[in-house]
Amino acid sequence: MRLLAILAIALCSALAAVLGCDVPLVHYKTMKCTPVGSRPDGCPERYDCPSITAHDSSKCYFNGKTYDIDQSVPDTEVAQFCSALCYCRSANPVAKFRCVHVDCAEFFQRFDYDNCLRQYERQRCCSTGKVCGDARDKLATCELENEIYREGQRMHFKDNKCRTCICSAGFDRNATDTDPNCYDTTCGFELFAEKQLYGGGIPVYKQDVCCPWEWRTPKATDSVVKGAGRVATDPKLQCKYGSLTLDVGDTLNIQQRAEDQKLTCSCQVPPLMQCVLN
């Protein structure tokens, strides 16, 4: 029986590693935090995030890079957020980016969806043009998860909301991990939510949305509900939230109205807690 139990545990651990971590970690990946350690469920034990744990309020942080006051971000790195001319400026309580918002021409034009298709390039906010009529029908086609697309269209995965492909001639649906026209989503919260991010906030994820939907800041009424996990002896394996300290597996007791969407917050992969809005 003992041998069977050991084999069962090993099998579960192997299966978890294959399936991968199911904790929402896009905020860490966006900030280019470094994963540390590994757990049987496929998740890292924690992340090392200097922009949070060693934050300098006189600097700005974006996509793993540090920017000094008046330093600009290349437009190519912010174009996907409908932004341009972003630069770091001094502000209270933390330095922040100031950007020009770009309104795409298609936002203000009627579009013939029955006869035309908009064309897109990877990691761009606005379309690069449109193709209509006979020219549209001559475009190359792609198939992804039983959906048919035409060249230049954005393609989305049903089970991977953080990855997008642009249909192109020669697209191979079995090689989306290496296709140069497929890419992972980069979130823009470092550009626009610096007060929440560096003011002790935690990411709130919404079902079927890749990036954090919003950021929740500590409230005086919050309290800790202890989980079944063991108490951490290493502070780096704990989540800090306002005046609260949580071990992995602990959840947050939140006062919510019955009519609100249910918000569940927990410490799963330190240093930040994360919430899911159901």
Over the stretch 125-153, which tens digit does the pLDDT of each residue have? 999 999 999 999 999 999 999 999 999 99
CB atoms within 10 A of CB 92: 8
Helix, strand or coil, per DSSP, at residue 52: helix
Taking alpha carbons only, the member of 8, 195, 171 closest to residue 93 is 195
Q: Once rounded to an integer, what is the mean pLDDT over residues 205-212?
A: 92
Give the pair of three-digit tokens for residue 27: 């905020």
Task: Mark out the alpha helices in the chain (DSSP H runs).
Answer: 2-19, 26-30, 50-53, 75-78, 133-137, 189-192, 194-197
Please determine, for residue 4, whether its predicted confidence score (pLDDT) is greater than 90: no
Helix, strand or coil, per DSSP, at residue 265: strand
- Start-to-end Cα distance in the chain: 40
Give the pair of three-digit tokens for residue 190: 């470092």
- How far apart CA 278 and CA 275 sit, in angstroms, is 10
Q: What is the pLDDT of residues 91-111, one digit of tens each?
A: 999 999 999 999 998 888 889
User: How far is Cα of residue 35 from the mean position of the Cα atoms in its chain?
Assistant: 15
pTM of the model: 0.84
Q: What are phi and psi of 11, to 5 degrees?
A: -65, -40
Say if residue 165 is exposed, middle or buried (CB neighbours under 10 Å; 0-12, 13-18, 19+): buried
- How far apart CA 19 and CA 15 sit, in angstroms, is 6
Taking alpha carbons only, the member of 17, 23, 18, 13 closest to residue 269 is 23
Asked if residue 164 lies in contact with residue 154, where contact means CB atoms within 8 angstroms, the answer is yes
Q: What is the pLDDT of residues 28-50, one digit of tens each?
A: 999 999 999 999 999 999 999 99
More confidently predicted of 50 and 255: 50
Tokens 């860490």 found at = 28
pLDDT at position 227: 87
More confidently predicted of 257 and 188: 188
Give the DSSP letter string of 71-118: PBPPHHHHGGGTEEEEEEE--SSS-EEEEEEPPPGGGGS---TTTEEE
User: How far is Cα of residue 60 from the mean position of the Cα atoms in its chain?
Assistant: 19
**Which residues are CB-neighbours of 264 under 8 A, at least 6 positions away?**
251, 275, 276, 278
pLDDT at position 165: 96
Taking alpha carbons only, the member of 266, 272, 271, 235 closest to residue 253 is 266
pLDDT at position 207: 85
